[in-house]
Amino acid sequence: MEEKSNLFIETLKALQKAGALNELILIGSWCFYFYRIYFKNSPEIPAVRTLDIDFLIPNPPKIKKEINIPKILENLDFKPMQSYPSGYTKYTNPELELEFLTPELGRGRGDKPYKITKLHVSAQGLRYLNLLQSYIIKVKSGNLKVILPEPAAFVLHKFIIFERREKEEKMIRDLNAANNIGEFLLKNKKQKNKLKEIFESLPKKWKRRIEKNTKENLPSLYDFLIE
């Protein structure tokens, strides 16, 4: 696991040096690495680290300069892997896999990837990711400055999407993450207010899904959100 952590940090450093971290939002389980820092190394934040690094590219993208991300990743021994027939590309290393996602808006594109020409990458479009791009924080660790979803947005998003996971292992992991962080945030007055604020801003359909899933899996959060 230490090797994965080292490669993760080296990847962030290389992307930051090229200016790419300003254009990307780190999502997925590696957020916990920085949430622990954000919350003063609280032991209640689980140290979950997986094989996957997920970056969200906001939609619409507002990228200021051209950056060749595949070249940066090649220098770190990541190899491009293209899926057919969609043409979507992710990057693999013996230690980690890295992929780019973007919010699927409107009617969407089906299986077709979003071409992010200034970054030389393609991003897979997924529903509900606009929740994560709408509420963000910046966390500093040493010389790194990383953009993440607000922890409250991270939790609510997990309660929307975890049951949509195709693999049971990932579904359980997402649910555990939502429960652990959700319980932690409920103990913090500022974060409780943020949970309620974000929840109230969501479409009714999204709120109903969150209510159903929190009632079944984290009743304390359900009670708070509907009070």
Q: Does residue 21 share a domain with residue 117?
A: yes
Asked if 181 and 217 count as a contact pair (C-beta separation under 8 A), the reply is no
Q: List % helix, strand, coil for the chain (3-state, nearest 5).
A: 50, 20, 35
Q: Does residue 218 share a domain with residue 141?
A: no
pLDDT digits (tens, 9 = 90+) for 20-44: 999 999 999 999 999 999 999 888 8
pLDDT digits (tens, 9 = 90+) for 212-221: 999 999 999 9
E strand or H helix at 145 = strand 144-149
Q: Does residue 60 share a domain with residue 135?
A: yes
CA within 13 Å, CB half, 31:
27
Domain housing 205: 151-227
pLDDT digits (tens, 9 = 90+) for 82-119: 877 667 899 999 999 999 999 998 877 777 899 999 99
Please tell me the distance from the alpha carbon of residue 35 to that of residue 31, in angstroms, as a whole number. Answer: 6
Q: Does residue 206 share a domain with residue 116?
A: no
Among 149, 174, 189, give the residue marking a domain's end. 149
Q: Does residue 163 share a domain with residue 63?
A: no
- Dig out the tokens for 152 from the structure: 């409250």
Q: Does residue 47 share a domain with residue 139?
A: yes
Q: Does residue 203 share a domain with residue 91?
A: no
Residue 155: what pLDDT? 97
Among 109, 126, 149, give the residue marking a domain's end. 149
Question: For residue 95, is it left (φ>0), alpha (ψ between -120 and 50) or beta?
Answer: alpha
Q: Does residue 200 share a domain with residue 137?
A: no
Q: Does residue 85 share a domain with residue 168?
A: no
Q: Does residue 165 share a domain with residue 119?
A: no
Residue 170: what pLDDT? 82
pLDDT digits (tens, 9 = 90+) for 171-216: 888 899 899 999 999 999 999 999 999 999 999 999 999 999 999 9
Among 104, 133, 149, give the residue marking a domain's end. 149
Q: Does residue 126 share a domain with residue 210?
A: no
The total of structural domains in the chain comes to 2
pTM (global) more than 0.75:
yes
pLDDT digits (tens, 9 = 90+) for 42-88: 888 877 667 899 999 999 988 989 999 999 999 999 999 987 766 78
Q: Does residue 110 share a domain with residue 86?
A: yes
- Dig out the tokens for 43 from the structure: 């032991």
Which CATH number do you get for residue 132? 3.30.460
Mean per-residue pLDDT for 150-161? 97
Q: How far is CA 77 from the centre of its chain?
A: 23
